[in-house]
Amino acid sequence: MKREKEMKRKRWQTTILLAVIIVVTYVSIAITEFNVLTGITAIPQAIGWMFSHLLITQESLAKLPSILEKLNETIFMSIAATTTAAAVSIFLGLMGSKTTRVSNVLSVLARFIASFSRNIPVVAWALILLLSFGQNSMTGYLALFVGTVGFLTRAFIESIDEVSGSAVEALTATGATYFQIVNKAVIPQSLPQMISWILFMIETNIRSATLVGILTGTGIGYIFDLYYKTMDYNTVALVTFTIVITVIAIEMASNYIRKVIL
């Protein structure tokens, strides 16, 4: 009887939730004066434009070497930003985790740094840092670095808490020191998950690096912006194509690595 009531209540909740979503959508459309019909009817036209303009031609292929060079810059910057951020995040993660924290103050501080850097979007970071560091790859690197520290610290805290509580208790009971416990129980047990998160961040950062590059004038983003503004759409198509290929390749590689280590 009680369960039936519970079920009924749940169904009602779902209905109300759906109604709320519909209303919110409608209101948003009305406020922004966004016409759904025009939007949808524009799609075929947009696709048509893409097919007629975004063609990779012989001419644009000639620019491939310089594009690849910039692409390399972007890839390596993303990897460097992710791995250095990971090193910082392991430390912050250990401080922030319930099972491995040394003091409450440090734990709160670590969590604060993590949420502060995570909750400001990478693009915003890039624009803020642009003011003090100027248009160079350092700015791009730092923007990715800060965002990654925020995300990875959070992920590492969760991985550590999830996997190592019981083993930490056991090793503490044997009289092991803090660093012995971290090195021999916490790290070995949470490493696969951590690596998985790092790989995920490398993928994400390569995508964001393109956008950050447009803002900071570095890497593949710069090239994209350059040809886009000079209306050389054939080359823009080539640049986009190389980015897509790279992201897919990195994703496949990291999926493979994940399968092996987990």
Partner 1 sequence: MSLLQVKRLGKSYDLETKVLKDISFDVEAGEFVSIIGPSGAGKSTLLRSINRMVEINEGHVIFDNNDVGSLKKKELRQLRTDIGMIFQHYNLVPRLSVIENVLHGRFGYKTTIQGILGRFTEDEKERAFYLLDKLGIGEHAYKRCDQLSGGQQQRVGIARALIQDPKLVLCDEPIASLDPNTSKIIMDHLQSIVSELNITCIVNLHQVEVAQTYSDRIIGLKAGEIVFDGPTPWLTDDRIHHIYGTETRELITG
Contacts to partner 1 by CB under 8 A: 164, 166-167, 169-177, 179-181, 183-185, 188-189, 192
Identity at 83, one-letter amino acid code? T
CA distance 153 to 26: 38
8 Å CB contact between 203 and 247: yes
Nearer to partner 1, 172 or 240 (CB): 172
Give the shortest CB-87-to-partner 1 separation in angstroms.
17
Q: In this structure, what DSSP letter does residue 186 have?
A: I
Q: Could you tell me where the DSSP H helices lie in the chain?
A: 2-32, 36-53, 58-61, 64-96, 104-119, 122-133, 137-174, 178-181, 187-216, 219-229, 233-261
Q: What is the dihedral of CA 243, 247, 249, 252, to 10 degrees?
A: -170
CA distance 15 to 248: 39
Question: What DSSP line would sit under 99-147, residue for residue?
Answer: TT-S-HHHHHHHHHHHHHHHHS-HHHHHHHHHHHH-SSHHHHHHHHHHH
Give the shortest CB-186-to-partner 1 separation in angstroms.
9
Nearer to partner 1, 40 or 262 (CB): 262
Nearer to partner 1, 72 or 166 (CB): 166
Burial class (CB in 10 A: 0-12, 13-18, 19+), 33: exposed
Give the shortest CB-168-to-partner 1 separation in angstroms.
9
Nearer to partner 1, 83 or 172 (CB): 172
Nearer to partner 1, 21 or 87 (CB): 87
CA distance 150 to 135: 23
Give the shortest CB-165-to-partner 1 separation in angstroms.
9
Between vectors from CA 187 to CA 79 and to CA 254, what angle results, nearest 5°?
A: 35
Give the shortest CB-253-to-partner 1 separation in angstroms.
23
Nearer to partner 1, 18 or 170 (CB): 170
Give the shortest CB-160-to-partner 1 separation in angstroms.
13
CA distance 130 to 215: 8
Nearer to partner 1, 65 or 175 (CB): 175
Give the shortest CB-172-to-partner 1 separation in angstroms.
7
